[in-house]
Amino acid sequence: MGYPHPPHPRETVLLSQYFGDPEARSLAGWRQRGGYRALEQALAMEPTAVTTIVKDSGLRGRGGAGFPTGTKWSFMKPGDGKAHYLCCNADESEPGTFKDREIMRWTPHALVEGCAIAAYAIGAETVYIYIRGEFTEPLQRMTEAVREAYAAGLLGPGAMGGKARIDVRIHKGAGAYICGEETALMNSIEGRRGNPRIKPPFPATAGLFGMPTTINNVETLAAVPHIITQGAAWYKAMCLSSPKSPGTKLFSVCGNVRRPGNYEVVLGFPFEEFLYDLCGGPPAGRKFKAIIPGGASVPIQTMDEVRATKMDYEGFVAGGSMLGSGGVICIDDAQCMVKQIGRLARFFAHESCAQCTQCREGTSWTTKIVERIEAGQGTPDDLDTLLEIADNMTGKTICVLSDSCAVPVVSGIQKFRDEFDAHIQGHRCPFRVAAAAA
Amino acid sequence: MITLTIEGRQVSVPEGTSILEAGKAAGILIPHYCYHPGLPVAGVCRMCLVEVEKSPKLAPACATAAADGQVVHVHSESALEARQGVLELLLINHPLDCPVCDQSGECELQDYTYAEGRRSTRYREPKRVNPVEDFGGDVVYVPNRCILCTRCVRFMETVAEDPVLNVSDRGDHALIGKFENQDLTHPWAGNVVELCPVGALLSKDFLNKARSWDMDRAASVCPGCSQGCNIVIETRDNVVARLRPRPNADVNQYFMCDEGRLNYRWLNRRDRVAEPLVRRGDALIPVDWEIAIDAAARTLTGRRVTAIVSPGLSNEVLYLLRRVLERCGAESEGVFAVRQGPEAPLPGVPDLAVRADRAPNVQGAELMGFRRTDAPLDAVRSGDVLLLADADLSAAGAAVVSGALARAADIIVIGTTVPAWAAGAGAALPLANMAEDEGTFTNLRGRVQRYRQAKSPPALARPGWSVLADLLVALGDPIVVWTPAEAFSALAQAHPAFAGMTYEGLGATGTVVADAREPRAVTAGIGA
Amino acid sequence: MSVPPPGSLTQLERAAAFDPALPDAYEPLFVGERRVALDEVLTRYPTRMAALLPALWMVQEARGWVSEAAMAEVAEVLHVTPAYVKGVVTFYTMYHQRPVGRHFVQVCTTSPCNVCGAEDVVRAFLTHTGSGEIGATSPDGRFTVIEVECLGACGFATPIMIDEDVIEGVTAAQVPEIIARYP
């Protein structure tokens, strides 16, 4: 596995400080780097006080939705006599996103510590870390870290300084993007098909095994120890644009870009500078044609659209897209957008759980039409059909996978209509023709 | 109670009611596929999306609780567009084979498409094609027609508690699946055919037998056992083609067992006695009804009679038979036997099972004072008149039959058939069977339920209540009964357990007899 | 007779492994040490059903794929029906429902990798392993190659997985050398 790049001077390395440092992986190494001090500190507080700090820090969910973490924790009512669960979402499957993988590979104890603090705050005795099955190395690192933490008494019956029992279990996924959806993830832990559940009830009321459950992303939980040790005010002050979006965030950058990888910046960082200064811009001789700024589920944007974007929850929305999971997919001008939109649709069709009609049938139909257009067999009314199917697939299903498939299609047709038209009118893919000629 | 407005109509429903059920209460059908009141909510077909004012997104009516002051639009533009979208998507891979599909005419996909769907498809890609699969039991699966509503899976899982069906695979490859050698053999599995809103799960028994629009339907009660499941008898050209469950929350909810469902061929049997017969020398010859009634009355008058009755006869017929016995000589009695079979409950529904008593009116027979016995022929005493009232004695051994025949001085048959061993009867009065007649049965919990006539009886066969009323008159009873309702009312006036009941008042779902728990054998005085 | 490890199957043996008429050939998995291991897994969850994914992983580790007979055994051990287990197995793409080659190659071809030339990598694998088409096993039983949706290593295009190993930044030119490492 490749080592991460050395941090760019404009990065603010908090979560990624020890990426590439194999010593940080062990419990001893992690302790040397200040690990588990936050847990100790948290255990000296009342659980509600821990939640308050996280709430005051302004930390928001790093999995995609951006829900305030402390608020989410406060939904859990301790002392209701029920088992409480914490789920850590390490299913990281959003195309373009590979940040949680690196956290687990390099700093597994950061996640164990974050889980323990969160479990303490919400009164959960059991934490399930749901790691996608393809993450063989992260699974191995996390399993080892949990083993070490048990051996050191940080987890298990006498954990938390004898204050509470806490168990951390690693649950290995088996190949399903949709298990990154929180209720699908819970079904998967329960030994079911990864079907998203109808909400309400929300997980805080009836989640895993029907019990009150909180679910947080890896990156969110990994940020918690820093907030505990350095304080809510310190975290909240890390902000370059919207005060509603404080803290650092890992952005995964991939596709046609000179220096792909994970970059940690303070939220609100200017996107254009990020793309060109930190990531090195497009490959030599190429231009960025399209940027998908937050994983495959968010609207595709042109370079012109993203130029002024500030990299935070509000900034990406203002720019016409979303921060999502922070997976930045760069597409250069040698790529056929019709083909890439078809490829995205194919991904969602492959990953549809098959429950809702619009998703099961719509993702597949969309894929077939876009691929037919790409093959030169499209007709002008196909685009209207695609937009109408997309409308049908938006806001009408149990989860948002269907919407996610519609997003690249709608934004793609809006922004790259000329490419669709060229395929339809020329009855072939102009990029293939160009490639064949070259 | 909460009050909401659906399509401009105000309706009050208990808290926790779904918008879909509230719609039903208001008389508004919100189109749906996966929702079924007898199953857990899945919320997957997305057909029941409705517009709720002040709500940003369309809401699935099946999975959204009705709320006080809610204003719901079912036929607004956005809701209609959403339904059209679902219909279009359900149809892209659905074959247009309605002309050869058994579900045609009673298909919810067909109905809603006709009502609201697009006129033509925009789908130009190849359709998904999968082979037909035998699911075992009476069920065959046609995956190409399946809309993945999962009603069948949920039924087997939560109602039958025998999860042999699953959703296999995912995306648009998903199908209803099962495991090799694990078939739909559960005694109630056939309900998945009923639950399937399209033609994906079909009854092998009914396959290609009749088009739904060619059939006539009558509300009835299953004659298969003492549970008394409410059913619909469907006939084509006066032939019973299939039985289907009819909802009754107090008896069978929405279901019926496979045994009951498939046990209808006897209603179509051709070897019926179709004309009144009397003995002339060695032969039974057809005569007018008056002659046959007179012959029967003359044989019965003043004689000691042993009546062997069928527990499949209606309350009214059994009541009139009881009155007949009272017109006969001293020590006349009536007995009945009940065919037995294994019990098979439907676990997900309380107090619902195929009952060991495989007859619909055991309780009624007991209430009318007939004695239950395992050996009814043994009740025949020397010199008795054996009055055989449609009882099936085919299980009796030859020695038992010949012994009873030797003791009986005379035989009178009132029934649908004349068994070969009773060919020596003095008279035979042909009756309509339960599908050809109407009347009431009393189920094992004392619920008196009406069944309606589904087909006409053969030739001169007549309803039992009418034949027995004539016989009673011939025996000197002052009874006046011209209709089944009058027969029931005569019973209700005479029998304390039926006191206060009216034929009309039984309605579609029946009424429980007084003091139902302890069936009382009333042997005297009820005809007075 | 136990099912031989994948890859060592001849065509005939492979056909036999599919033959439902041969249920006697199945040797139970959850006995002895593996049963102890499963019992330990069961302590991690409040329900037996929750051990389903781990149990299926144990099956796949032991046998290389999840046969119907194995599904039936897992069902019995976890007190669910075989049909239920099959519904779950078919949902998750990582459980093999057919025997696969000795080495299972997954090439990520989702968009971020696609724009970086993942399709060439797939073609190279199909050619150099001799398996010819997606999902097929090479005639020597050594490799099965599939396209996989997003391995979550998009910054290291093109990532591939061979068995449990993730290899990043694979180009078509490197494929022969990589294959050589997996005899």
A window 195-214, beta carbon within 8 A of C: 209
Residue A253 touches partner C, C-beta closer than 8 Å? yes
Which backbone phi and psi does A279 adopt, to 5 degrees?
-95, -5
What kind and span of H or E run contains A366? helix A357-374
| CB pair distance less than 8 Å for A357 and B89 | yes
User: How many contacts does B have with C, using Cβ atoms within 8 A?
Assistant: 38
Residue B130 touches partner C, C-beta closer than 8 Å? no
| CB pair distance less than 8 Å for B172 and A392 | no
- The predicted-structure confidence for A257-284, as pLDDT tens digits, reads as follows 999 999 999 999 999 999 999 999 999 9
Which residues, 6 or more positions from C69, have their beta carbon under 8 angstroms from its beta carbon?
C23, C26
CA end-to-end distance (rounded Å), chain A: 34
What kind and span of H or E run contains B450? strand B447-451
Closest CA to B36 of B62, B3, B11, B57: B62
Which three-class secondary structure state does DSSP give residue A130?
Answer: strand
pLDDT of residue C24: 58
**Chain A: closest CA distance from residue C53 (Å):** 6
| CB pair distance less than 8 Å for C93 and A175 | yes
Angle of the B315-327 helix axis to the B464-474 helix axis, nearest 10: 20
DSSP per-residue string spanning B311-376: TTS-HHHHHHHHHHHHHB-TT-EEEE---B---EE-TTSTT-EE-SB-STTHHHHHHTTPEE-S-G
CA end-to-end distance (rounded Å), chain C: 26
Q: Which of C80, C83, C87 sits opposite B182 (nearest CB)?
A: C83
| CB pair distance less than 8 Å for C83 and B167 | no
Q: Pairing state of beta strands B344-345 and C160-162?
A: unpaired
| CB pair distance less than 8 Å for B60 and A385 | no
Q: Enumerate the residues of chain B whose CB falls inside 8 A of the CB of residue A372.
A: 124-125
What kind and span of H or E run contains B116? helix B108-116
pLDDT of residue B516: 63
Is the N-terminal amide bond of C158 cis, ω within 30° of 0? yes
Closest CA to A363 of A380, A347, A341, A378: A347
Using CA atoms, how far apart are residues A70 and A50, in angstroms rounded to an integer?
9
Is the N-terminal amide bond of A201 cis, ω within 30° of 0? yes
Which three-class secondary structure state does DSSP give residue C88?
Answer: helix
Q: Enumerate the residues of chain B whose CB falls inside 8 A of the CB of residue C135.
A: none
Residue of B180, B185, B186 to mutate, interface with C, max C Cβ within 10 Å? B180
Residue of C53, C60, C158, C161 to mutate, interface with A, max A Cβ within 10 Å? C53
Residue of A nearest to C47 (CA): A190
Is the N-terminal amide bond of A200 cis, ω within 30° of 0? yes
Q: What is the dihedral of CA B171, B176, B181, B184, to 10 degrees?
A: 170
Q: Which two tokens stand for residue A432?
A: 């293939």
Q: Which of C94, C109, C156 sits opposite A175 (nearest CB)?
A: C94
**Chain C: closest CA distance from residue B151 (Å):** 15
Spatial contact of C74 and C51, defined as CB atoms under 8 Å apart: no
Cα–Cα distances in angstroms (integers) from residue B273 to residues A30, A96, B284, B413, in the given order? 94, 80, 11, 10
Using CA atoms, how far apart are residues C48 and B46, in angstroms rounded to an integer?
32
Using CA atoms, how far apart are residues A409 and A382, in angstroms rounded to an integer?
12
Residue B515 touches partner A, C-beta closer than 8 Å? no
Closest CA to C96 of C153, C146, C51, C132: C146
Instruction: Quickly tell me which residue has 């517009």 as its tokens.
Output: B51
- Block mean pLDDT (10 aa), chain B, length 528: 96 97 97 98 97 96 97 97 97 96 96 94 94 97 98 98 97 95 96 98 97 97 98 97 97 97 96 96 95 97 97 98 96 97 97 97 97 96 97 92 95 96 95 98 97 97 98 96 97 96 96 70 41
Spatial contact of B72 and B5, defined as CB atoms under 8 Å apart: yes
Using CA atoms, how far apart are residues A137 and A105, in angstroms rounded to an integer?
7
Spatial contact of B195 and B147, defined as CB atoms under 8 Å apart: no
Residue A431 touches partner C, C-beta closer than 8 Å? no
| CB pair distance less than 8 Å for C84 and B182 | no
Q: Which two tokens stand for residue A181?
A: 């959806």
Q: Which of B47, B49, B172 sits opposite A364 (nearest CB)?
A: B172
Quote ipTM for the complex: 0.95
Closest CA to A399 of A176, A175, A87, A179: A179
Which residues, 6 or more positions from A434, have their beta carbon under 8 angstroms from its beta carbon?
none
Using CA atoms, how far apart are residues B32 and B83, in angstroms rounded to an integer?
9
Which backbone phi and psi does B468 adopt, to 5 degrees?
-70, -30
pLDDT of residue C12: 41
Instruction: Quickly tell me which residue has 């799960």 as its tokens.
Output: B201
Q: Enumerate the residues of chain B whose CB falls inside 8 A of the CB of residue C68.
A: 179-180
Using CA atoms, how far apart are residues B99 and A196, in angstroms rounded to an integer?
37
pLDDT of residue C8: 42
The alpha-helical segments, DSSP class H, found in B126-251 are: 151-154, 191-195
Which residues, 6 or more positions from A151, have their beta carbon under 8 angstroms from its beta carbon?
none
A window 66-125, beta carbon within 8 A of C: 83, 92-98, 101
Angle at A168 between CA A166 and CA A170, to 5 degrees: 170
pLDDT of residue A157: 85
Burial letters B327-339, b for 16+ CB under 10 A, else e: bbeeebbbbbbbe
A contact chains, 3+ CB pairs < 8 A:
B, C
Using CA atoms, how far apart are residues A211 and A89, in angstroms rounded to an integer?
17
pLDDT range class, residue C7, cuts 50, 70, 90 = very low
Cα–Cα distances in angstroms (integers) from residue B408 to residues B27, B307, B379, in the given order? 61, 11, 10
pLDDT of residue B517: 53
Using CA atoms, how far apart are residues A117 and A220, in angstroms rounded to an integer?
12
pLDDT of residue B77: 96
Q: Enumerate the residues of chain A whose CB falls inside 8 A of the CB of residue B153.
A: none
pLDDT of residue A132: 97
Which residues, 6 or more positions from B433, have their beta carbon under 8 angstroms from its beta carbon?
B266, B267, B272, B416, B457
Beta strands in B91-224 (DSSP E): 133-134, 139-141, 165-168, 175-178, 201-203, 216-221
Using CA atoms, how far apart are residues C183 and C179, in angstroms rounded to an integer?
8
Q: How is residue A31 annotated by DSSP? A: H
Q: Which of A193, A362, A397 sits opposite B167 (nearest CB)?
A: A193
Q: Enumerate the residues of chain C whose CB falls inside 8 A of the CB of residue A353.
A: 91
User: How many contacts does A have with C, using Cβ atoms within 8 A?
Assistant: 148
pLDDT of residue C4: 40
Q: Enumerate the residues of chain C whose CB falls inside 8 A of the CB of residue B178.
A: 83
CA C152 to chain centre: 18
**Chain A: closest CA distance from residue B105 (Å):** 23
Cα–Cα distances in angstroms (integers) from residue A221 to residues A60, A104, A118, A224, B387, in the given order? 10, 12, 7, 5, 86
Q: Is the overall model pTM greater than 0.90, yes or no?
A: yes
Residue of B nearest to C20 (CA): B180
| CB pair distance less than 8 Å for C112 and A254 | yes
Beta strands in chain C (DSSP E): 103-108, 143-148, 160-162, 165-167
Residue B46 touches partner A, C-beta closer than 8 Å? yes
Which three-class secondary structure state does DSSP give residue A2?
Answer: coil
Q: Which of C20, C71, C83 sits opposite B178 (nearest CB)?
A: C83
**Percent of chain C surpassing pLDDT 90:** 86
DSSP per-residue string spanning A301-364: EEHHHHTT-EESHHHHHHTTS--TT-EEEEEETTS-HHHHHHHHHHHHHHH--S-SHHHHHHHH
Residue of B nearest to C69 (CA): B180
CA A21 to chain centre: 23
| CB pair distance less than 8 Å for C95 and A175 | yes
Which backbone phi and psi does B82 adopt, to 5 degrees?
-65, -45
**Chain A: closest CA distance from residue B254 (Å):** 24
Using CA atoms, how far apart are residues A425 and A377, in angstroms rounded to an integer?
9
Q: Enumerate the residues of chain C whose CB falls inside 8 A of the CB of residue A92.
A: 152
| CB pair distance less than 8 Å for A194 and C91 | yes
Average predicted confidence (pLDDT) for chain C: 89
Beta strands in A191-341 (DSSP E): 213-217, 248-255, 261-266, 269-270, 288-292, 301-302, 310-311, 327-332
B contact chains, 3+ CB pairs < 8 A:
A, C
Q: Which of A173, A175, A329 sits opposite C111 (nearest CB)?
A: A329
CB-based burial label for C103 (10 Å; 0-12, 13-18, 19+): buried
pLDDT of residue A65: 87
C contact chains, 3+ CB pairs < 8 A:
A, B
Spatial contact of B145 and B94, defined as CB atoms under 8 Å apart: yes
- The predicted-structure confidence for A55-79, as pLDDT tens digits, reads as follows 999 999 999 889 999 999 999 987 8
B window 334-353, beta carbon within 8 A of A: none
| CB pair distance less than 8 Å for C95 and A252 | no
B window 160-219, beta carbon within 8 A of A: 167, 169-174
Q: Which two tokens stand for residue A146?
A: 């949990």
| CB pair distance less than 8 Å for B89 and A365 | yes
Residue A11 touches partner C, C-beta closer than 8 Å? no
Which backbone phi and psi does C165 adopt, to 5 degrees?
-90, 130
Sites in chain A below the pLDDT cut of 50 = 1
Q: Enumerate the residues of chain A whose CB falls inside 8 A of the CB of residue C57.
A: 133, 172, 174
- Is residue C6 over pLDDT 70? no
- Is residue C20 over pLDDT 70? no
| CB pair distance less than 8 Å for A357 and B90 | yes
Residue A132 touches partner C, C-beta closer than 8 Å? yes
**Chain C: closest CA distance from residue B178 (Å):** 5
